[in-house]
Amino acid sequence: MNRFLSKPLSLITGCLIVATSLCACRGNEVENVDLKSIRDCKELEVAEFNFHKIIVERSTVSALGIAGFGLASFPERTLILPVDVKVVGKIDFSNVTKDNLIHDGDKVVFTLPDPTLRIVSIRPDYEMRGKASREQWYRGGGFSDDEIQKIGEQAKDSIMIDRTLEKMAERTRENAASVLIPLISLATGVSEDKISVQFNSDLNLTAATLKDDDTIIFRKKE
Amino acid sequence: MNKVKLIFSAIVAVVIIIVGICVYSWIKGVPAFELFHQDNKMERTATILRSITNTHRWVFLTIEDEEVVVNEHTFGNVAKIYPSYYELGIDVSDSLKWVEIQDNNGVRVASLHLPPIKILNENGIDDTKVKNIYGDADDKEKIEMQKKAEFKLKRRAMSGANIKQAKKTAEDHFRNLFTVLECDSVDIKWQSK
């Protein structure tokens, strides 16, 4: 081969090899995305809590701003968006065994698993937003995706308040008892007034963790 | 000479003003100069617990899925991804008509007539998690696109295999539960409708 050609040729080949190996590496990158899946469960949903929140956003646009002071400002745009949030209170039955049922004389005591909550839906009412909002000529009435996400976060935060959580957990327990006592009475043949339902007492009903899948799990008492 | 002096002091004055503005905005944490400034403020509002419904639903299968919907336009298409979460199970409401206990000389048999498996949460799409890929849709179009996604997602969630799986888990669960509740045998039948 020509002496003058061999160097550039090997250089090009080298570059090609590096480029293809880089491409191959890129293809092998593992996607960092949650696994969407089908999951078996044995849960009893006993309560549904319907929350309502009205989101108000005011936006102003000023022009020719110097050090935070606008020399001219446009009229304010006000968006009003009602949001419905639905939370479900449930009890997981996957670990219920014979140990959960205890005979105490002629009485029957059933120990219920811990309640959990799940935010099942956050529904903004777009139709109402269209009617109630004051839009301006320079900007339409829509929320951007980021804003909608922020609204979702705000709605979730407003539910993760101690008193609200406690109320929901207590109601879930009450409802579970009222659903299960007749069922236990029917199945065991013991009259309802002799059946009691008890709960795990070391659960802290005012402190909970919101998981990525919108499930709210109560923490144990410290 | 005087003219040069005047121009020079004017330049110095302008520089001092500019530097002053810059320092002031730096201390206050605002941009020194900008053509347009947009300020969005979300007000803190109360959250109201409007209603509590008592339910009696058993969930046996949860399905996380997503669907892409593309709406074609003459000027640019719109594409969105709709994530969904559906719960499959049975709704037995408040009555106990689905359970019958027969006592044959001390042998307790539980006969269950379970209602058909259905989707328990109708609003399976979380609006705040919808991802816009490209394009812009107005409210009417958004609702229309969401309906399209919902139809496909629900059909996929209620597939034969999923219903079969949910039924299997349900049967396992009720066999275990009624055994815990001291029944000797459990007989399960599914209502056709």
The tens-digit pLDDT sequence of chain B (193 residues) is 688 889 999 999 999 988 988 888 888 777 777 777 777 787 878 888 999 999 999 999 999 999 999 988 877 788 999 999 999 999 987 677 888 888 888 888 999 999 999 999 888 888 888 888 888 887 788 888 999 999 999 999 999 999 999 999 999 999 999 999 888 989 999 988 6
What is the pLDDT, as a whole number, of residue A17?
58
* Phi, psi torsion values for B76, nearest 5 degrees: 75, 135
What is the pLDDT, as a whole number, of residue B160?
93
CB contact under 8 A, A127 and B139: yes
What is the pLDDT, as a whole number, of residue B134?
87
CB contact under 8 A, A57 and B62: no
Q: What is the mean pLDDT of chain A?
A: 79
CA neighbours closer than 13 Å in the CB half-sphere of residue B147: 6
Chain segment A101-158, per-residue pLDDT in tens? 888 888 889 998 889 999 988 888 877 777 767 776 666 666 777 778 888 888 888 8
Chain B positions in Cβ-Cβ contact with residue A85 (cut-off 8 Å): 47
Q: Identify which of B97, B94, B96 has the alpha carbon closest to the alpha carbon of residue B56.
A: B94
Alpha-carbon A90 to chain mean position: 15
CB contact under 8 A, B41 and A58: yes
Cα B132 to Cα B127: distance, rounded to the nearest angstrom: 11
Q: What percent of chain A has pLDDT over 70?
A: 78
Chain A positions in Cβ-Cβ contact with residue B56 (cut-off 8 Å): 44-46, 179
Report helix, strand or coil for A52.
strand
CB contact under 8 A, A68 and B126: no
Residue A179 has pLDDT above 80, yes or no: yes
* Contacts for B110 with CB less than 8 Å, ≥ 6 apart: A187, B99, B100, B101, B178, B181, B183, B185, B186, B187
For the question of whether the overall pTM of this predicted structure is more than 0.80, the answer is: no
Asked whether the beta carbons of B191 and B114 are under 8 A apart, the reply is yes
pLDDT classification of A25: cutoffs 50, 70, 90:
very low
Alpha-carbon B104 to chain mean position: 49
